[in-house]
Amino acid sequence: MLLGLNIDHGATLRQARYRDVEFTLGGPVEPDPIALALAAEKAGADGITAHLREDRRHIQERDVRRLRESIATRLNLEMTCSPQMTAFALELRPDSVCLVPENRREVTTEGGLDVVKYRDAVRVCVDAMNAAGIKTSLFVDPDAPQIELAAELAAPWVELHTGAFASALNPFQRKVEFDRLRRGAERAQRLGLIVNAGHGINYVNIAEVRTLPLLHELNIGHSILSRALFTGIDEAVREMKRLMNP
């Protein structure tokens, strides 16, 4: 199972102090999320994920362009399926894009993309990425209509939203959400989709997440960067990979 490291919150820390500075690195500006990505690659991260949000609350355009020029693994761009972001992705040419919902008021992504509701917009974006040779993943809740439409729209990957499972404190509800994820993963695989997962995965619940059938990649950010505050990014990445693939 591969590890995609989401570096957004490295940029969150920088923007907390330097959001009104016109440049994103150099001088007193720190930390540099690209340096974080390079260190994570050396520790074994298989890819780097960054979400260029409409409100630019953490990752900035220059960050993404520097990632494209600097990293040695794969760049996965999380984005909303707007015409503006589609045009940016086609110019940038990341290895893959992950289409996610976006709400300016949310602290972090709150759920999966409603592919059924936004079918036409998703289709336009997926068609454009397929034509450009850029792999598209749809970040969806593990529900049959979303997964089936993802396959119909010819998105090669889905990323199952694990947030409801990760935040479930009641053991019964936790089992309900895990079974929902399992069924979603099995359905996606029957439809020929490559299955990734992400959101809220940490050093404890990874023991359950890794048992989901035939997962290809996990995208993890907050938990690894939180651990890195205590152990450094090298140890944080290595420990997560060990737990993912014991």
Catalytic residues: 51, 78, 199
Contact present, 162 and 200 (Cβ < 8 Å): yes
Q: How many CB atoms lie within 10 A of CB 23?
A: 10
How many Cα atoms occupy the beta-carbon half-sphere of 202 within 13 Å? Answer: 12
Q: What angle do CA 165, 170, 175 make, to 5 degrees?
A: 50
160: which strand partners?
A: 140, 197
Owner of token pair 């053991």: 171
Main-chain dihedrals φ then ψ at residue 157, nearest 5 degrees:
-125, 155
Return the H-helix or E-strand segment holding 219. strand 217-220
- Please give the Cα distance from 246 to 241 (Å, whole number): 8
For 221, the token pair is 């950010």
- Please give the Cα distance from 130 to 155 (Å, whole number): 8
- Please give the Cα distance from 57 to 72 (Å, whole number): 26
